[in-house]
Structure 1
Amino acid sequence: MLNLAFSPCPNDTFVFHALVHGLVPGAPAVDVTYADVDVTNTRALDGAFDVVKVSYAALPWLLDRYRLLPTGGALGHGCGPLVLTRDRRRPEDLAGATVAVPGERTTAYLLFRLWSAGFAPGRIEVVPFAEIMPGVAAGRFDAGLVIHEARFTYPEHGLTMLADLGEWWEGETGHPIPLGAILARRELNADALTGWIRSSVEYAWRHPEASADYVASHAQEMSADVTGRHIDLYVNEFTADLGDAGHAAVADLLGRAAAAGLVPPIAGLR
């Protein structure tokens, strides 16, 4: 039995549907834990899972126990986190502000820290992702850092995008945006796991209708349109294989963060 943890977001349920439902030849049965990435980032510290989806920003604390797999994760173009406000229009307006973020070791927050180095906010509050946009709209927070489907839905909350951190990252580096990584315990067969997960990704692309009910059941009341746009954006060629470009993007992100004193340095990814 393979102990697997990933989020209930549409991109993850789409990717892992075939593996979870016994549709990948030769793969073992799977015991799934569904949890937001801020939870998996923390629980993976204790080696709680055989295979786990975490933030790339959490890798410096996890690579002693886990190995990065080159498939199944989230990395791409035009898919970065957003900084949202009700009425602030310039990055420097965040100086001294209260900003809600989805987790201390999320890639979104790491990108925010790199981006905001010259105008640090006054206070950071870690809150569940679903509370961020309503909290900003209600005035509980001056700004919020959001990910995933919020890219499509923030206007419904009456909010304004102050910055697209993915756009900033791509402009600064030319790299795609590293978001979520798939890790496997180092004592497991990484080649076999990579093959099974890649087969699950390929099955999802060949049979998108097969996972529709499974994805919808975990999509937290997202509309079918938002769910489809979410999958189209976050499941891409890098999901099948990180490749040299994906590995370079992750190495640059963690190298810049280590140089800024935000994360411990790492020896390598492979």
Structure 2
Amino acid sequence: MSTLPDTLHLGYSFCPNDTFIFHALHAGLVPAPLPVQEVLEDVQTLNDWATLGRLPITKISYRAYFGVMDRYVALRAGGALGRGVGPLIVTRGEIGNLNGKTVASPGALTTAELLLRLVYPEVKVMRMRYDEVMPAVERGEVDAGLIIHESRFTYPQHGLSKHLDLGAWWEGETGLPLPLGAILVRRDLAPDMQWALNVSVRSSLEYAYAHPEASRAYIRQHALEMADEVMQAHIDLYVNAFSLDVGEEGTRAVQELHRRAVDVGAVAGSGLPLFVEKP
């Protein structure tokens, strides 16, 4: 096992669902096994950092998690799974089959791009930061765009149309909720430390639910130009019972996404446990 640092650096995104969940932990309002220092970055950066093992505890997309399972294990709390939460493919007008077309993607290690390739295996991908996707579609630089986060609430303002809801596609295919993001801890941390961090993350979310006003200024600080109603809709959509504990159904959903990722050659198989277990 690794030597414990004095402070645990916790990586998560600027998005309202993450700042809502982690505010209490960051602010020291709930117990933690070690002091926690926030490291806020976009999810693609956090995905990239995880391949290097840079942070001991970090938010990551499930697609990226499948590539670093030798180094990290997912907490049961703090993640994003659900129904009606999937990424969207948007276009400027009606387009049929996207195979052979160019689609803007927010990153190779996003769950969104994995789903895109499951539906359209011959699509051409142009990668860019997630907030640049809609403008690229708007300008006609790509045939379609893969949008995530708050963009699913604002794409009509850009004159764009929904081509396909990838979350609805997944639910129709599997009957399961869609796994989007997980909170990982390094496997070289002791099992009791891993579980203590799971308890702390869950406690942070429980505090946020019990004291919704406590985190509002923190969420607003990092929500850029997002309108208040969009900010709240973002939280309501991405934070749910699966965020408290992934549960049996959520576990099956992650197992199925992993199986499909392995089947299409996106990642290698692994026999390691997907989630932390209580010692």
- Aligned residue for 2:119? 115
- Aligned residue for 2:178? 177
Letter in 2 for 1:103: G
Structure 1 distance, partners of 2:112, 2:66, is 15
Structure 1: give runs of 5+ residues left out of the alignment.
none
Aligned length: 265
Structure 2: give runs of 5+ residues left out of the alignment.
1-6
Of 20, 43, 54, 2:49 maps to: 43
Q: Which stretch has the larger CA shift, 228-237 or 182-191?
A: 182-191
- Aligned residue for 1:67? 73
8 Å contact kept, 2:12–2:43? yes
Of 217, 220, 223, 1:219 maps to: 223
Of 11, 14, 31, 2:20 maps to: 14
- Aligned residue for 1:151? 152
Structure 2 distance, partners of 1:52, 1:95, is 34
- Aligned residue for 1:266? 270
Residue 95 of structure 1 and its aligned partner are, at CA, apart by 2.7
Alignment of 1:73-222 (within 5 A): 73-90=79-96, 92=97, 94-117=98-121, 120-121=122-123, 123-188=124-189, 189-222=193-226
Q: Residues 130-155 of structure 1, C-alpha deviation per residue, up to 9 Å, x if partnerless?
A: 11001101111110000121111000
Structure 1 distance, partners of 2:100, 2:75, is 39
Residue 28 of structure 1 and its aligned partner are, at CA, apart by 2.7
Structure 2 distance, partners of 1:25, 1:56, is 27
Structure 2 distance, partners of 1:178, 1:50, is 21
8 Å contact kept, 1:19–1:27? no
Letter in 1 for 2:22: F
8 Å contact kept, 1:4–1:50? yes
Residue 27 of structure 1 and its aligned partner are, at CA, apart by 4.3
- What TM-score results when the alignment is normalised by the length of structure 2? 0.92
Letter in 2 for 1:199: S
Identity of aligned residues (%): 51
RMSD value over aligned CA atoms? 1.1
- What TM-score results when the alignment is normalised by the length of structure 1? 0.96
Question: What is the SS of the residue equivalent to 1:4?
Answer: strand
Q: Residues 78-136 of structure 1, C-alpha deviation per residue, up to 9 Å, x if partnerless?
A: 0000000001343x1x232211000101001001110113xx22x21110111100110
8 Å contact kept, 2:23–2:208? yes
Question: What is the SS of the residue equivalent to 1:28?
Answer: coil
Q: Is 1:57 matched with 2:63?
A: yes
Structure 2 distance, partners of 1:136, 1:158, is 10
- Aligned residue for 1:31? 37
